[in-house]
Amino acid sequence: MGWGEIQRIPNEYNDEFRSIDETILRLFKERKLLAKGKRYFPPKEIMQEWAINYEMDIPAISFLMHSFNEGIHPKIPNEPGELLSVMPIMKKTVVDGFEYHLTHAMQHMNGSIVFLEIEQLQSDDMHAHIRPQLLLEVKGNQEYYVRRTGSHGGGGQTQMRFMVMPPLPHNINEVGLGLVPYGIPMEIPPKDMILDKEVVFE
């Protein structure tokens, strides 16, 4: 069977949407020029106000603000590189009935992979699916670029991984670590894949 031609997916567009998009691009350019290479991020109180005024979720607003700042970072490698060591972090806090553990970081040549565990302490429904809309925040003497690299869980627990570049310092107390709202707008919810067939290992 030969390869078929890839069909273009039709998109609707008109002058009204073009005007909005051009306004967004113009304002993005103005913001980038005004920032002059620095990161500017609104405080929580302002994002809460915007969430009400513009009927948006705070994680979605946070995602957009982080996106505006991403182009400011210098060029960095896409991969963490060679694994050098494993560094314990062991930081824990409890917020609204959920316990957050920053357990450890895999220290690579180009960056660190930080592991987070979240556990629901008490609930009437311990089988509820936890959907974290969070991003690791690292504050130190230099700028750190952070992105989510995966998450999984179930039964009142979930685990997340974050890539941090450049690598975290060997003394973890030299940086401040936290979690901030971060959710992709119009994200498609994951589809459940039910596995219910008998499996026999020989």
pLDDT digits (tens, 9 = 90+) for 100-114: 999 999 999 999 999
Alpha-carbon span 25 to 68, nearest angstrom: 11
Beta bridge partners of 86: 106
Out of 46, 70, 94, a domain closes at 70
Note whether 88 and 175 are same-domain residues. Answer: yes
pLDDT at position 10 is: 62
Q: Report the DSSP pairing between strands 134-139 and 157-165.
A: unpaired
What pLDDT is stored for residue 4 in this prediction?
46
Give residue 80's pLDDT. 83
**167 in a domain, yes or no?**
yes
Domain annotation covers residue 201: no
Residues 97 and 170 in one domain: yes
pTM of the model: 0.64
Rounded to whole angstroms, the Cα distance separating 87 from 90 reads 10
- Residue 199 forms part of a structural domain: no
Residue 114 lies in a domain: yes
- Asked if residue 202 belongs to a domain, the reply is no
Q: What is the pLDDT, as a whole number, of residue 86?
A: 95
Q: What is the pLDDT of residue 22?
A: 92
Q: Is the domain of 90 the same as that of 174?
A: yes
Question: Is the domain of 141 the same as that of 165?
Answer: yes
- For residue 58, being part of any structural domain is answered with yes
Tens of pLDDT, residue by residue over 184-194, are 665 555 666 66
Task: Specify whether 113 is located in the same domain as 170.
Answer: yes
Residue 149 and residue 30 in contact, taking contact as beta carbons nearer than 8 Å: no
21/105 same-domain check: no
**Total number of domains in the chain:** 2
Q: What pLDDT sits at residue 49?
A: 92
Residue 31 lies in a domain: yes
Length of the chain: 202
Q: What is the CATH number of the domain that holds 175?
A: 2.60.40.1640
Do 62 and 141 lie in a common domain? no
pLDDT < 50 stretches in the chain: 1-7
Identify whether 78 is part of a domain. Answer: no
Using CB atoms within 10 Å of the CB of residue 160, give its burial: 0 to 12 exposed, 13 to 18 middle, 19+ buried: buried
Question: Domain check: are 26 and 89 in the same one?
Answer: no
Domain that holds residue 58: 15-70
